[in-house]
Amino acid sequence: MSDTPSILFVCLGNICRSPMAEGAMRKLAELDKRDIQIDSAGTGSWHVGEAPDRRAQATALKHGVDISNLRARQVAPEDFHRFTHIVAMDRNNLSELRRMKPANATAELSLMLDHAGGPGGRDVADPYYGGAEGFVETWRDVMEGAAGLLAKL
């Protein structure tokens, strides 16, 4: 048994928000010299096996975080036992996770921006169909959520 926290970040496609959240948390954990298992996944299957969206990769890289080696995967039932925390990027994905959650699941489910302070229930907006500026906002949101979560672990 280990006390190492393990976090799964979840969005819809696992090519924009959740890989950016994974990269942000890896960076913060490294700076803080914290031993944390970090992964990401999507509730949807359309992009399984793909690298993060180019715009997500470019935005993270601007902040010194290389997420080019990540590959999209779909959330699996065993994730609810493998991870101590499963963090959804928006309320739709949180609802989907609650629907999928096995009865004996051990992972704690939460919403990313509920770790950031401010009003509860806010979504990390889906940047996929928008322009580059949406990804700037995504990076800011995932850094705030990741920093807040890290402080609680």
- Which residue among 11, 39, 55, 114 is the active-site one? 11
Shortest Cβ 82–ligand 4NP spacing (Å): 21
Contact set for ligand 4NP, span 40-69 (CB under 6 A): 46-47
Shortest Cβ 2–ligand 4NP spacing (Å): 30
Shortest Cβ 140–ligand 4NP spacing (Å): 15
Residue number with CB closer to ligand 4NP (114 or 141): 141
DSSP conformation letters of 45-67: -TTTTPPPPHHHHHHHHHTT---
Binding footprint of ligand 4NP, residue count (CB under 6 A): 11
Which helix (H) or strand (E) segment holds residue 148: the answer is helix 132-152
Q: Which two tokens stand for residue 105?
A: 């699941």
Contact set for ligand 4NP, span 3-22 (CB under 6 A): 11-17
Residue number with CB closer to ligand 4NP (50 or 101): 50
Residue tagged 């950031």 (tokens): 116
Residue number with CB closer to ligand 4NP (11 or 70): 11
- Which residue among 17, 39, 55, 79 is the active-site one? 17
| Rounded Cα–Cα distance for residues 129 and 21 (Å) | 18
Q: Distance between alpha carbon 137 and the CA centroid of its chain, in Å?
A: 15
**Whole-Å CA distances, 140 to 133, 144, 147:** 11, 6, 11
**Residue 34 C-beta-side C-alpha neighbours within 13 Å:** 22
- Which residue among 39, 114, 126, 141 is the active-site one? 126
Asked about 11 being catalytic, the answer comes back as: yes
Active site residues: 11, 17, 126
